[in-house]
Structure 1
Amino acid sequence: MEKFIDNLPPMDLMRSEKMTFVQLIIPAESAHRAVSYLGELGLLQFRDLNADKSPFQRTFVNQVKRCAEMSRKLRFFKDQVNKAGLMSSSRTLLQPDIDLEDLEVHLAEHEHELIEMNSNSDKLRQSYNELLEFKIVLQKACGFLISSHGRAVSGEIELQDNVYSNDDYIETASLLEQEMRPQPSTSGLRFISGIICKSKALRFERMLFRATRGNMFFNQAPAGEQIMDPITTEMIEKTVFVVFFSGEQARTKILKICEAFGANCYPVPEDISKHGQITREVTSRLTDLEATLDAGIRHRNKALSSIADHLAKWMDLVRREKAVYDTLNMLNFDVTKKCLVGEGWCPMIAKTQMQEALQRATFDSNSQVGIIFHQMDAVESPPTYFKTNTFTNPYQEIVDAYGVARYQEANPAVYTTVVFPFLFAMMFGDWGHGICLLLGALILIAHENKLSTQKLGSFMEMLFGGRYVILLMSLFSIYCGLIYNEFFSVPFHIFGPSAFRCRDTSCSDAHTIGLVKYRDPYPFGVDPSWRGSRSELAFLNSMKMKMSILFGVAHMNLGIILSYFNARFFGSSLDIRYQFVPQMIFLNSLFGYLSLLIIIKWCTGSQADLYHVMIYMFLSPTDELGENQLFWGQRPLQIVLLLLAIIAVPWMLFPKPFILKKLHTEVPLLLAFCMIFLLGSIEFY
């Protein structure tokens, strides 16, 4: 609770900090430390004095390139660590300070080592996949090569003794027809075996059938186990195939189709008896490769673990150095090339801190010449700077998302700290849900020190950054939930029994039968008897809608009043007369009057129809109100308010633009007349 109180917004947040334009003359030997120390303060906004130069023409372009290259290497290391499933060490390591040159050498060595290990691992994985596929093809193809008659089908099968002398027929006739017709003794069936992705098998078979015009047998079987893709590291299902064909031309076509579909072909021996021996040899080599791969993975993970322990510090160092050199590129070198000149804006209250940081930079860099820091006059308007803390920062970001206030304007984020969570609570009014939200906010605040040093995801980072916003939203939700008497949409008799009861004993708990009021109103919030009654929706929706109107009108009035204080602060009587006054008249003549009617209706219990009152206030303002009259003198008051609203529209729209146009056109005309007079005088003389 003490931390929460310390984080409350101070009273000096009403307007942006007063800014001053300063110039720095920094010796070259202390420039890096000076910019680094000023960056840690974060209270100086440098101007770019080299805006006319491209990034490649600036003084420290080589250092920026080196930092960018190191950032690329660090991103590469981070990707490798994430792929390996490793995490950076959360413990604080006693790491010696390292400068940029040494870090560049270390990163180059680590990158070369990792690239070499990855290359070797990819080659070993490719060899392992090939042997594994070869083993699977040997096991599956053996069954395809044994004929249904119990004899082995070798690379060439002897057919009938009778032959045809027409060799072209053998190339074009189907294999079934070749078996039915006598063929030369030199002809026969050959086969190609291999493995292909399961998703491509059907298209592969169709392409083979079309290319060979049906002169082939295609047998396939699932591989039985998934194989890792060495590029994407995904497990892929594959299918073993054996294609029987006849003729050299068909063989060439089939091999080209296999290459196009990415199918891997493996030589299966013709002799079935050799399959077992080859399979054992392949299995032995697979075992050796598995041991080699495991050893390589362990060595690679060890190297990545060492990198992961220092990765966060290295990334922070490179990011900070790149920011320093980017800032130094905004400074001008003196003609002597011995000092740099910088200009920028800083808050008036931060001058002492900046001077102390510059003195420390001079001392740490062992410079014989101090840094000159002095104020200057500036023509342009200063930037807007609001001093925030952990409590007010999320509200300031919400306001800045819609627009940044002009320099020295009132800061609307101060009022947003209360208005934003309360408007949320009016929509989220349920004290059961509010308690759940409160527990979540308290957990985030209790672990604030721990979570602030950890890397969070985008969603958790957003929740943690708005922990104090969630805290206030939950508290206001509990308050509005008690007013609405909703606990997970269920009413409770928290503040005593209901003020209504059944008309007689026969109605029991049936809410559809009318209830009568027998005691004082419910002490706080909505009476629980409204739940389940015939008029529940009409009553609750009307109440919430009218509350929304009241708070919405109050919110708009607050914004217009802030514009008045801004106009008075800047001495703009034009904005007060032709913007603030007509806006207040227009808003309160219509919506302010509606808010007044709502309050009077609540206090008097009148049955007047406010829709009817507001509609006929425009359509027929002189008609009698009848039962819709809430107070004496309502009709003449409505006529006066309507006339004021009509007058406020042109008052708000037309005078200010014409006055501004007149003010901005008179000055150029005056200058033109002066120039003509001067030229005429010179010509006269």
Structure 2
Amino acid sequence: MARRLRFFKEQMSKAAILTSPTQFSGASLEIGDLEIKLGEFEAELTEVNTNNRKLQRTYNELVEYNVLLEKTGEFFYSAQRSAAEQQREMVADQSGDSSLESPLLHQEMVIDPSKQVKLGSLIGLVPKQKAMAFERILYRATRGNMLLRQESVDESIIDPQSGEKAVKNSFVIFYSGERAKSKILKICDAFGANRYPFPEDLATQLQTIQKVSGKVSELKATVEIGLAHRDGILKNIACEYEEWNNLLKKEKAIYHTLNMFSLDVTKKCLVAEGWSPVFATSQVQDALHRATTGSNSEVGCIFQILNTQESPPTYFQTNKFTSSFQDIVDAYGIASYQELNPGLFTIVTFPFLFAVMFGDWGHGICIFLTALYLIIREKKLASQKLDDIVEIMFGGRYVILIMSLFSIYTGLIYNEFFSVPFELFGKSAYACHDPSCGDATTEGLVMVGQTYPFGVDPVWHGSRSELPFLNSLKMKMSILLGIAQMNLGIVLSFFNAKYFKNTVNVWYQFVPQLIFLNSLFGYLSLLIIIKWCTGSKADLYHIMIYMFLSPTDDIGENQLFPGQRIVQVW
């Protein structure tokens, strides 16, 4: 049945007939009745297509024959008229002096008709791109003992064999002898030349042309009626195609599910084993009860909870807001059964870390408007078929919304609107009192007001100190946030180990990870915070490098707190 529906779909696509929207009729159609109905439509459509192909091929042959008769008829008519004129000239020459221009062979044949030679002829059509090779092969095969006349057909015509349009040449071949005829026929077949009969008598030619023209008109009307009948069948199929397709999908889904059941031969029943969330137990029982009632079954379904030592699969209950964040976590790895779900923390950490990288409140507003549009039209967009990029954006619309809000927040902290600063929270706390200072330098600036109440002071943007100042701020803040998130992951592993009462993971995984991480990067984070608080000029790169290369050397001007060298050695 699926094959038949695909066949109908192909036929409707060729005929440019669209399927109607799904409109379920009140009467329910059984799968057995559907199979009979599809079989009848397939048989009828196959028969109509077969007849249409035969009629179309005959019609194409007649069109070719009609074109050929017109072209060849003109040639024979002009040739016969020329021969008649020559014959009259020969008769006139015999009564007087012979003309020097009269052919001697023709004179001899007129004088002695027994010496006339009967020539055979073949007419047909050959593809124009093969015409030169066709003529060359004929000449070589017959050793020049033939006469070929070709003429181009103005319009492209449909080839009866292939059913495709082609540009062709009409040809007439005159030959002598059966042996030459046999060679010519084989060459015509090799070059795909279509041959047709042609009467030699002029009166018979005119009758044939009229007869073929009449048949072309009649057959054209017959072909159009056949195509209209086929379109009528396809339109009837298109009205119910979606309903049939949905019914077949449901039936295939049922059989696919039944194939996963095991057969109990002794009790003559099907047994299915699976996993279900505890909160859904009553829902499963209600669904089984509805299925039993709806199918009018005399025997009900038995639902029984099994005790097993196997580890259940992980299931996290999500909604349209949390599903996208859970998919991000699942793309990296799915937590084991009853492990702590990191997707909960990702709702905050993922969009915030994005905002740290792309902190620009102008950029954030653009993303916010895009996400808001997808959310407002989510019902309409969910029912449509979207392309790959739009579908990814629509699936993560709530993720994009939270990222945009955080991006606006961090953009206000960075004081960047498409990389342009604004005095949103008051004027700058610095003013230029030195004539040597300009727009591109912060030297000579004096603090004249209170510290900027929120975010970065706009005076830093466009100055020579902008790059070192903002890069230092953003990079050091990124280090602090990254180390905090790594520590969060280690702490979550502790709670997992504690829940499963796994002391080995606590002492030999959680504790070493916590010590190694914070002895290096945690210590670096501590130095960053102390440097921010004290305003020290210490070089943190120098401190971290020589902490390993020369741990016992004097720190000197890079000391941030008393006893720093001892702490670093420890």
Does residue 1:591 correspond to 2:524, yes or no?
Answer: no
Question: Aligned match of 1:239 in 167, 170, 190?
Answer: 167
2-structure distance, mates of 1:512, 1:291: 89
Q: Which amino acid aligns with 2:7?
A: F
Deviations 1:51-107 (A, max 9, x none): xxxxxxxxxxxxxxxxxxx33333333444445445444465444322222222223
Identify the residue that residue 38 of structure 2 maps to in structure 1: 107
Q: Which amino acid aligns with 2:347?
A: T
Deviations 1:300-358 (A, max 9, x none): 45544444444444333323322322333333444445433333222211121222222
Change (3 A) 1:276 1:319: same
Does residue 1:194 correspond to 2:125, yes or no?
Answer: yes
Identify the residue that residue 448 of structure 1 maps to in structure 2: 378
Q: Which amino acid aligns with 1:462?
A: I
Scaled by the length of structure 2, the TM-score of the pair is 0.75
Question: Aligned match of 1:401 in 331, 337, 341?
Answer: 331
Identify the residue that residue 516 of structure 1 maps to in structure 2: 445
Q: Which amino acid aligns with 1:418?
A: V
Identify the residue that residue 384 of structure 1 maps to in structure 2: 314
Alignment of 1:480-519 (within 5 A): 480-498=410-428, 511=440, 516=445, 518=447, 519=449
Instruction: Answer yes or no: is the 8 Å Cα contact 1:122–1:230 preserved in 2.
Output: no
C-alpha displacement at 1:290, in angstroms? 6.0
Question: Aligned match of 1:414 in 326, 344, 351?
Answer: 344
Aligned Cα RMSD in Å? 4.7
C-alpha displacement at 1:582, in angstroms? 0.8
Q: Which amino acid aligns with 1:107?
A: L
Identify the residue that residue 52 of structure 1 maps to in structure 2: none
C-alpha displacement at 1:568, in angstroms? 1.0
Q: Percent identity?
A: 52
Question: Aligned match of 1:372 in 281, 302, 320?
Answer: 302
1-structure distance, mates of 2:119, 2:452: 101
Q: Which has the larger radius of gyration?
A: 2
C-alpha displacement at 1:387, in angstroms? 1.5
Question: Aligned match of 2:490 in 535, 560, 566?
Answer: 560
Identify the residue that residue 12 of structure 1 maps to in structure 2: none
Q: Which amino acid aligns with 2:323?
A: N
Secondary structure of 2:312's aligned partner: coil
Question: Aligned match of 1:572 in 502, 508, 516?
Answer: 502
Scaled by the length of structure 1, the TM-score of the pair is 0.64
Greater relative contact order (CA < 8 Å, ≥ 6 in sequence): 1
C-alpha displacement at 1:584, in angstroms? 1.4
Deviations 1:115-138 (A, max 9, x none): 344444444554555566667778
Q: Which amino acid aligns with 2:2?
A: S
Unaligned runs of 5+ residues in structure 1 are 1-69, 153-158, 164-183, 641-685
Change (3 A) 1:340 1:289: same
2-structure distance, mates of 1:319, 1:240: 49
Secondary structure of 2:273's aligned partner: strand
Alignment of 1:211-250 (within 5 A): 238-241=166-169, 248=180
Identify the residue that residue 97 of structure 1 maps to in structure 2: 28
1-structure distance, mates of 2:198, 2:428: 90
Which 10-residue stretch deviates more, 274-283 or 460-469? 274-283
Identify the residue that residue 629 of structure 1 maps to in structure 2: 559
Identify the residue that residue 512 of structure 2 maps to in structure 1: 582
C-alpha displacement at 1:604, in angstroms? 4.3
2-structure distance, mates of 1:471, 1:535: 34
Instruction: Answer yes or no: is the 8 Å Cα contact 2:122–2:195 preserved in 1.
Output: no
Secondary structure of 2:518's aligned partner: helix
Instruction: Answer yes or no: is the 8 Å Cα contact 2:21–2:242 preserved in 1.
Output: no
Q: Which amino acid aligns with 1:597?
A: L
Question: Aligned match of 2:188 in 234, 250, 255?
Answer: 255
C-alpha displacement at 1:225, in angstroms? 5.9
Instruction: Answer yes or no: is the 8 Å Cα contact 2:135–2:148 preserved in 1.
Output: no
Instruction: Answer yes or no: is the 8 Å Cα contact 1:128–1:286 preserved in 2.
Output: yes
Instruction: Answer yes or no: is the 8 Å Cα contact 1:222–1:238 preserved in 2.
Output: no
Change (3 A) 1:524 1:512: same
Alignment of 1:6-405 (within 5 A): 70-90=1-21, 92-127=23-58, 194=125, 196=127, 201=129, 205=132, 209=136, 238-241=166-169, 248=180, 251-252=184-185, 254-259=187-192, 296=226, 299-405=229-335
2-structure distance, mates of 1:269, 1:542: 99
C-alpha displacement at 1:395, in angstroms? 2.6
2-structure distance, mates of 1:555, 1:228: 73
Instruction: Answer yes or no: is the 8 Å Cα contact 2:531–2:560 preserved in 1.
Output: yes
2-structure distance, mates of 1:146, 1:504: 109
1-structure distance, mates of 2:318, 2:331: 16
Which 10-residue stretch deviates more, 95-104 or 269-278? 269-278
Secondary structure of 1:376's aligned partner: coil
C-alpha displacement at 1:579, in angstroms? 0.8
C-alpha displacement at 1:385, in angstroms? 1.7
Change (3 A) 1:230 1:187: closer
Change (3 A) 1:258 1:361: same
C-alpha displacement at 1:378, in angstroms? 0.9
Does residue 1:620 correspond to 2:543, yes or no?
Answer: no
2-structure distance, mates of 1:222, 1:422: 74
Does residue 1:425 correspond to 2:355, yes or no?
Answer: yes
Deviations 1:224-261 (A, max 9, x none): 66969998x9xx774334578786377356424423xx
1-structure distance, mates of 2:271, 2:309: 19
Unaligned runs of 5+ residues in structure 2 are 84-100, 106-114
Change (3 A) 1:267 1:609: farther
